[in-house]
Amino acid sequence: MRKIAIIGNGISGISAARHLRKLGNDEITVISGETDHFFSRTALMYIYMGHMEYQHTKPYEDWFWEQNNIKLVRNWVKEIQVSQKTLLFQDGRTMAYDILVLATGSRSNKFGWPGQDLPGVQGLYSYQDLELMEQNTKDITQAVIIGGGLIGVEMAEMLLSRDIGVTFLIREKEFWDIVLPPEEASLIGRHIEEHHIDLRKQTELKEILAGEDGRVRAVVTNENQEIPCQFVGLTVGVSPNINLVKESSIETNRGILVNEYLETNIPDIYAVGDCAEFRVPLANRRPIEQVWYTGRMQGETVARTISAHKTAYVPGIWFNSAKFFDIEYQTYGHVWNQLRDNENQFYWEHSDGKKCIKFVFDDQSKTLLGVNSFGIRLRHQILDQWLREKRELPYVMKHLAKANFDPELYSRYEHEIVTSFNHTFPDMAVPIKKKGILASLFS
């Protein structure tokens, strides 16, 4: 029975712990200074907005861990003594391990702006950040958010739920256009503005000003415009949280360097999730994957390697999802923010300007490469299958209804989408037929 220590109780660390338990009877200890129990980090915003309480964000009831013999330790690790295989805690305690899994997650980026450490300025990643935000936004009326990514838009939604006015500064031309193609980026930008958020495009932060009380009073933009506010959200991305290992012999770059087995340079030490950086990135994927799903998969995979089923991390077809205020977003395969050389696209947008779908395909072979969908839910299994099978676009259009995952009775748009497709690409046109209610009842 080996002693396995896992640092971090987010989705990566917990997935590793759960799967290690399924695969063996090692002594498993999960260490976190953040919370006693695993909670869904992605749900932090809902706690602030009053959709849920903290307890609701815990995916497993508290008895689950004891029943599965997974030990939970609430403490911050101060130092990893690699040569002695020992962890040193902040409160002076120590813990010996045989195998160590690092799942320390991320921390919010700061780029050295003047005033970035003032009271009232913060990022949002951890439970402590949430508590801080609760204090920082008490009885305030105006906030500025810097950086248009997923956390930024979540923060805007959070602040809005408390009737706090939001000015949203984004460096880019359109919202999140480093990821989203122009049409989609502009659709989301419009939706953000529909919620009465003052979205300032191509605007950067120059400095943050303090008031007499020492708290943030205003921000100054690169155009020297001063925007009064009592809160600044810094959401310009996150970086691997590697402070703990920087001083050790564990090799790092931006993140903790791992091979395809999630092994670090030190035997018996592994890294998974946001904090891990692949020495050799997988094809079409970033070296650091900071997504819930990849964290989960890496946790699942490392558990096998530790349990003597050495397994390389081989993620399948890329997918991701998010929600921007009221608009859900799903993506499958690869849709880059700009078409690549061999690529072509078909884009359809609903007349209400809140739903759209984009198909990127290989210009030569016409095979599907990726799909972006906003406001229409798609069936993961079908898209995964089509992308794997390298289906050609006419096939996709012909069977589009199969990919719909919207609730029953919702308006369906396949007819409109395919009509538009036939119009745009007459050479690939497919016949349109409607399926009767009776047929679908007995399908």
Partner 1 sequence: MKIIQSVGLVMFLAGFAIFIGSFFTAHYRITDEILGNSTTETENALIQEYGEDMLDHNFATSYTLISQLSGLFEQINQELLNTYSFTSDELQALANRAMEQGGMFSLANVEQVIGADSEAASFKLKSFQDYGSWLDQRQYENQQALFQDLQNVAENIRLYGIINQKGFDRYRIKDLKFQLAKAAGNGPVSRNPWLFLGLTYGLCIIGAMMYILPKRKLDGPPGIKNNNIFFSAMKNKGWLGILTGTFLIVFYVLLYYFPEYMTNWIIMVDPISQILKGSDAGRFFLYGFIYTLCILVMGIRMIIKYRHSKYQMIRTASVMFFQTAFAFLIPEILLRLNKPYFDFKNIWPLDYDFFFDNELQTLIDSGSLGIFMLVWGIVLILVAVPVLVYFFGKRWYCSWVCGCGGLAETLGDPYRQLSDKSLKAWKIERWMIHAVLVFAVVMTGGVLYTYFTGSGQVFGLSTYAVRETYGAWIGAGFAGVVGTGFYPLMGNRVWCRFGCPLAAYLGMVQRFKSRFRITTNGGQCISCGNCSTYCEMGIDVRWYAQRGQNIIRSSCVGCGICSAVCPRGVLNLENAPESGRLNEPILIGNDSFKIQA
Instruction: Choose one: 79-87, 113-121, 236-244, 325-333; the region binding partner 1 (CB under 8 A).
Output: 325-333
Q: Is 377 in the site for partner 1 (CB under 8 A)?
A: yes
Residue of 190, 187, 157, 152 lying closest to 171 (CA atoms): 152
Minimum gap (Å) between residue 322 Cβ and partner 1:
8
Q: Is 58 in the site for partner 1 (CB under 8 A)?
A: yes
Q: Smaller CB distance to partner 1: residue 2 or 58? A: 58
Asked if 282 and 113 count as a contact pair (C-beta separation under 8 A), the reply is no
Residue type, 429: A
Q: Smaller CB distance to partner 1: residue 384 or 392? A: 384
Q: Is 411 in the site for partner 1 (CB under 8 A)?
A: yes
Measured between its terminal Cα atoms, the distance across the chain in Å is: 52
Question: CA-CA distance, 390 to 235, in Å (whole number)?
Answer: 37
Question: CA-CA distance, 403 to 368, in Å (whole number)?
Answer: 14
Instruction: Choose one: 80-88, 271-279, 313-321, 394-402; the region binding partner 1 (CB under 8 A).
Output: 313-321
**Cβ-based neighbour number of residue 132 at 10 Å:** 16
Choose which of 92, 267, 316, 436 interacts with partner 1 (CB under 8 A): 316
Minimum gap (Å) between residue 284 Cβ and partner 1:
14
Choose which of 133, 197, 208, 297 interacts with partner 1 (CB under 8 A): 297
Q: How many residues line the site for partner 1 (CB under 8 A)? A: 58
Minimum gap (Å) between residue 63 Cβ and partner 1:
8
Choose which of 319, 348, 386, 413 interacts with partner 1 (CB under 8 A): 319
Instruction: Choose one: 24-32, 167-175, 206-214, 303-311; the region binding partner 1 (CB under 8 A).
Output: 303-311
Minimum gap (Å) between residue 134 Cβ and partner 1:
11
Q: What tokens appear for 369 in the block? A: 């490469």
Q: Is 402 in the site for partner 1 (CB under 8 A)?
A: no
Q: Smaller CB distance to partner 1: residue 74 or 310? A: 310
Minimum gap (Å) between residue 375 Cβ and partner 1:
10
Question: CA-CA distance, 329 to 355, in Å (whole number)?
Answer: 10
Choose which of 127, 336, 347, 405 interacts with partner 1 (CB under 8 A): 405
> Rounded to 5 degrees, what are φ and ψ at 273?
80, -150
Q: Is 427 in the site for partner 1 (CB under 8 A)?
A: no
Asked if 150 and 248 count as a contact pair (C-beta separation under 8 A), the reply is no
Minimum gap (Å) between residue 299 Cβ and partner 1:
10
Residues between 6 and 45 that touch partner 1 (CB under 8 A): 11, 22, 40, 42-43
Minimum gap (Å) between residue 238 Cβ and partner 1:
16
Residues between 65 and 124 that touch partner 1 (CB under 8 A): none
Strand partners, 408: none
Q: Is 292 in the site for partner 1 (CB under 8 A)?
A: yes
Choose which of 89, 127, 325, 347 interacts with partner 1 (CB under 8 A): 325
CB-count exposure of residue 264 (10 Å: 0-12, 13-18, 19+): buried
Minimum gap (Å) between residue 355 Cβ and partner 1:
11
Secondary structure element (H or E) that encloses residue 133, with its range? helix 127-136
Specify the pairing of strand 269-271 against strand 99-102.
Answer: parallel
Instruction: Choose one: 119-127, 209-217, 293-301, 389-397; the region binding partner 1 (CB under 8 A).
Output: 293-301
Question: CA-CA distance, 285 to 156, in Å (whole number)?
Answer: 29
Asked if 378 and 330 count as a contact pair (C-beta separation under 8 A), the reply is yes
Q: Is 49 in the site for partner 1 (CB under 8 A)?
A: yes
Q: What tokens appear for 32 in the block? A: 């976190």
**Cβ-based neighbour number of residue 265 at 10 Å:** 14
Question: CA-CA distance, 341 to 361, in Å (whole number)?
Answer: 11
Residues between 189 and 208 that touch partner 1 (CB under 8 A): 191, 194-195
Place of tokens 């933009």: 221
The per-residue DSSP string of 101-121 comes to EE---EEE-----TTTTSTTE
Cα 121 to chain centroid distance, Å, stands at 22
Buried/exposed code over 166-183 (b: 16+ C-beta within 10 A; e: otherwise): bbbbbbbebbbbebbbeb
Which residue ranges make up the site for partner 1 (CB under 8 A)? 11, 22, 40, 42-43, 46, 49-53, 56-59, 61, 161, 191, 194-195, 292-293, 296-297, 300-301, 304, 309, 311-317, 319, 321-323, 325-326, 328, 330, 377-381, 384, 405-411, 441, 443
